[in-house]
Chain A
């Protein structure tokens, strides 16, 4: 296949999304990245693997690039523990490469930034938990954690009147843990640096102790506000590895769940965006709408957040005609209320004053640094899998992508409103055209070493999963990738030049995942 002008020997991977796999050498690794970047492609994910129970040599790094025809997954087998650095081609690779080193001890040569990323003081620098010889019984940590301080070298800003404000990882409200280091002069933010990894739970290691059936449950818990997207991506990866397929009714029901998850999350965010600007009225109204949705979810699907409904091979739920009309009635009610609330948000001078121009990510910057998902679309990065690489049933639904050029908080609010409207349309269209057939199919047994790809447009952005199976359906390696990897670095840029009290609003307008990033 061709990446720009580069010809790469690649074989097509079976599955719902257009994907190719290619084994490359170090020079192709770099060349493919450069050509992909030059031809408008982007880096989707970068991860490493320890294949000591499978192929030789022991280690490999993988990168998923999004190019014109689809995804290309490059595998670079490593004879030594180093590989070429691509962070100067794709800035988003910086943190992924650092995470690869922390987890596997594979070093990119020679990156500008060699600081640790996911590793904290509780974890010795010469222990690499994703290596197969790491047992995970805690023996490596016990003596270490007690007397080590996490001396992460933040970039310091010097100058007259410049000082630092450390925020987190413990916050005043109930939010996930992350550390933000502001360098400010007065109220103006000169630099913001993030530090994550506090939510590292060893999800990838845990997957390696599971098989592809039991893994579905864990996949739905990687980042629980996107449980549908993760579960679907996982199911897609397993189906692609097995060479099987979910029945078409299951695919449509998955899309129904995904759109309901999108609407619920967007409603919650819109409420909190109003609240963070001091308009508590917005929070209560949007929370009420979200709560109504969650209760209907519980009534029809048995779970408020739609957890554990999607499994490899299909879905575990079905929608009767009566339930379908309840969902449709809810869509109608929601739409009219949403219209009213949108006009209140649009016409509230105090709110608009806080939203407009705040936390701006210019389209050029977004393109250069690789902003994706909802935040990307608000900065004119027109990527939406549902519209561009649409798998069933989106290929029949003609999804309208919501985009905006301003890249500020106001734009991200507008995109959210537009996406809710579109999702409500999709939900109605799905219920209208739901095919009648089984919802669960038996998957064929996968061969050892089979690989599969899952790629789903969650509410936050693209959720990606790369799966390699071992013998008898065991998971040899599963790499889940959250769009937050790409978008967290952009938040640092969005805050620049803004005043400190506007940061919570900017942060909320991105609303990125800690758990999905820290794994």
Chain B
């Protein structure tokens, strides 16, 4: 098999893996939350059941919905699939990797968000507009912080390509980078904000007035809603995969290392399960903060990311 086909194959496997397993990861996270709250929980497969239910329903659209409203779920889903394709999950040899680097990744997330916000305002309900406003407030603070987080590993690896960064961190001689510790903490904070998790947003709330992400999608139903829910799950999984690739990449297979694949799949699954459990703990012990605390929270993330970069530049570590 030529290297090109190999990389295409590995790309497809990996994208498919993330897209298909993303709802299970969300289910696992919810299951951990349930256990931590002394509930028995709905099981890891619950998100699939919800999606199947939604795909079987007829979609209800507002009379004044424009094509933007119809297109937005597909745009969001495509963006997330693309994002999932860029992040190295089981091996670093990806056909798409030259196409987009970390900066583009931030752009892809932003594109999906812009469409979500436009669609929310499209119908003209108070909740959609309110959600769009809040989403943009959070985004305007989390995106710069995310970029700053990327700069530390980027400086270490001397590349903006995610594959190159993951490769460099995973396969060079083991070294402890204090700068990465700062970046990792900042990354977790950004992850919580970007994925509408507690303490910034509450994904399981039914209170329209407190919603951020949920308010954006209040008007969606059936397949549109299913796609958005799926995209949300992929986004969360991609973020966790990103964190794993940047901060704990050990176990990642290198180009052409087919024999390493089982190990790397197992390593990834284990790390993802741990990440889900850790997120569940974080979400269980914290309350949701007021929306106007979000700037402080994300400002802190930004500061930590900058500190990480400074540590690297000043200490070279």
Q: Is the CB of B288 within 8 A of A350?
A: yes
Which B-chain residue is minimally distant from A284 (CB atoms)? Answer: B37
Q: Is there a chain A Cβ closer than 8 Å to B39's Cβ?
A: yes
1/0 per residue A415-428: CB within 8 Å of B?
Answer: 00000000000000
1/0 per residue B55-83: CB within 8 Å of A?
Answer: 00000000000000000000000000000
1/0 per residue B194-227: CB within 8 Å of A?
Answer: 0000110010111111100000001000000000
Q: How far is the CA of A280 from the CA of B130 in the complex (A)?
A: 24
Q: Tell me which of B36, B288, B291 has the highest count of chain A C-beta atoms within 10 A of its own C-beta.
A: B288
Q: Which of A183-236 contact B (CB under 8 A)?
A: 187
Q: How far is the CA of A277 from the CA of B292 in the complex (A)?
A: 14
Q: Is there a chain B Cβ closer than 8 Å to A167's Cβ?
A: yes
Partner of B209, one of A281, A353, A503: A503
Known: A172-B218, A284-B38, A500-B130. A278 touches B209 (CB 8 A): no
Q: Is the CB of A504 within 8 A of B38?
A: no
Q: Is the CB of B207 within 8 A of A354?
A: no
- In the bound complex, residues from chain A placing their C-beta under 8 Å from that of B37 are 280-281, 283-285
Q: Is there a chain A Cβ closer than 8 Å to B235's Cβ?
A: no
Q: Is the CB of A501 within 8 A of B209?
A: yes
Q: Which of A261-291 contact B (CB under 8 A)?
A: 274, 276-281, 283-285, 288
Partner of B33, one of A164, A280, A353: A280
Q: Is the CB of B291 within 8 A of A501?
A: yes
Q: How far is the CA of A499 from the CA of B212 in the complex (A)?
A: 14
CB of B207, distance to nearest CB on chain A (Å): 4
CB of A445, distance to nearest CB on chain B (Å): 51
CB of A286, distance to nearest CB on chain B (Å): 11
Q: Which of A331-367 contact B (CB under 8 A)?
A: 348, 350-351, 353-354
Q: Is there a chain A Cβ closer than 8 Å to B263's Cβ?
A: no
Q: Tell me which of A187, A283, A501 has the highest count of chain B C-beta atoms within 10 A of its own C-beta.
A: A501
Q: Which of A150-185 contact B (CB under 8 A)?
A: 163-167, 171-174
- In the bound complex, residues from chain A placing their C-beta under 8 Å from that of B130 are 165, 500
Q: How far is the CA of A164 from the CA of B198 in the complex (A)?
A: 27
Q: Is the CB of A502 within 8 A of B290?
A: yes
Partner of B206, one of A172, A278, A279, A354: A172
Q: How far is the CA of A172 from the CA of B290 in the complex (A)?
A: 20
Q: Is the CB of B210 within 8 A of A501?
A: yes
1/0 per residue B270-300: CB within 8 Å of A?
Answer: 0000000000000011111111110000000
Known: A164-B126, A167-B208, A501-B210. A278 touches B38 (CB 8 A): no
Q: How far is the CA of A171 from the CA of B209 in the complex (A)?
A: 10
Q: Tell me which of A164, A279, A348, A353 has the highest count of chain B C-beta atoms within 10 A of its own C-beta.
A: A279
**Once A and B bind, how many residue pairs between them come within 8 Å at the CB atom?**
81
- In the bound complex, residues from chain B placing their C-beta under 8 Å from that of A499 are 290-292
Known: A499-B292, A501-B290, A502-B290. A280 touches B204 (CB 8 A): yes
Q: How far is the CA of A277 from the CA of B202 in the complex (A)?
A: 9
CB of B237, distance to nearest CB on chain A (Å): 22
Which B-chain residue is minimally distant from A180 (CB atoms)? Answer: B209
- In the bound complex, residues from chain B placing their C-beta under 8 Å from that of A173 are 206-207
Q: How far is the CA of A365 from the CA of B284 in the complex (A)?
A: 37
Known: A187-B292, A501-B290. A172 touches B284 (CB 8 A): no
- In the bound complex, residues from chain A placing their C-beta under 8 Å from that of B202 are 278
Q: Is the CB of B287 within 8 A of A351?
A: yes
Q: Is the CB of B287 within 8 A of A288?
A: no
Partner of A281, one of B36, B204, B293: B36
Q: Is the CB of B288 within 8 A of A277?
A: yes
Q: Is the CB of A278 within 8 A of B218?
A: no
Q: Residues of B with Cβ closer than 8 Å to A? A: 33, 36-39, 126-127, 130, 198-199, 202, 204-210, 218, 284-293
Given contacts A174-B206, A274-B287, A278-B287, 16 further A-B contacts (CB under 8 A): A165-B130, A167-B208, A171-B206, A172-B206, A277-B288, A278-B199, A278-B202, A278-B286, A279-B286, A279-B287, A284-B39, A285-B37, A350-B286, A353-B287, A353-B293, A499-B291
Q: Residues of A with Cβ closer than 8 Å to B? A: 163-167, 171-174, 187, 274, 276-281, 283-285, 288, 348, 350-351, 353-354, 499-504
Closest CB pairs A-B (n = 3):
A278-B288, A173-B206, A350-B287
